[in-house]
Amino acid sequence: MNPEEFKAQLASMGIKLSDKQMQQFATYYQMLVEANKHVNLTTIVDEKDVYLKHFYDSITPVFYDQSLKTEALTLCDVGAGAGFPSLPMKIVFPNLKVTIVDSLNKRITFLQNLVDALGLDGVELYHARAEEFGGKKSKHREQYDVATARAVARMSVLSELCLPLVKVGGKMIALKAAQAETELANGNQAIKTLGGQVVADEEFSLPVSDDQRHIIILDKTKKTPKQYPRKAGTPNKKPIGEPEK
């Protein structure tokens, strides 16, 4: 998917990109490839693959949640790495107020340089572990309309990292690949325990590559119990509701 195909595919979904937005994506690509020589940001560096598997893929949640297009939502992107999915969404939909949390300071430095170069307003970056960022004493706990994550962890773990950040009445949106059904089945107890409820599992294929994708949307229906999230590393070692190995 070259840049023009990217633009045309989004237009077919009712999303029209301006010349300025296309230039922002071009700058994003150039800075990503350059920084990737020094910091491990992505294994995908070919332009057509970046436009499809990073930029386009990051925008797919808006196909299934229209509020992202128009409402002034606060969105927390957990473990964003090179800025996916939140920064491509922010370029296309400036109405979003984005907060990015990542545990590696080198990635945060890259993202700050990127945000400055793209001229994006309403983006905050934090070098932190998600478990601490959403902890019971954190000012960020249950403050966001939306928490999102892509390629971070399986649902039983991801729920504990994301749902504590979402206010009651907000939602968590997970971008997933082919194993989503199994992850949801194994993560059901964790989702309920943390105050979430599954409201959608949208399955589709990326254009060109036909790679299978899922957008999983959870509503935050009640407050997360104070003991969650547990200390850093524990959610991954002992996921809620999964038998110990």
Q: Residues at the annotated binding site for S-adenosyl-L-methionine?
A: 79, 84, 130-131, 150
223: left (phi > 0), else alpha (psi -120 to 50), else beta? Answer: beta
Lookup: tokens for 117: 């170069």
- Cβ atoms 70, 142 nearer than 8 A: no
Query: Please, which residues bridge with residue 147 across strands?
Result: 76, 172
Residues at the binding site are 79, 84, 130-131, 150
**Preceding peptide of 3 cis, ω within 30°:** no
Distances (CA, A) of 159 to 10, 77, 110, 179: 29, 13, 27, 16
Nearest to 194 by CA among 234, 151, 161: 161
Cβ 126 vs Cβ 100: under 8 Å: yes
Q: Which residues of 10-20 are buried (b: 16+ CB within 10 A; e: fewer)?
A: beeeebebeee
- Rounded Cα distance between 16 and 8, Å, is 8
Span between the terminal Cα atoms of the chain, in Å: 41
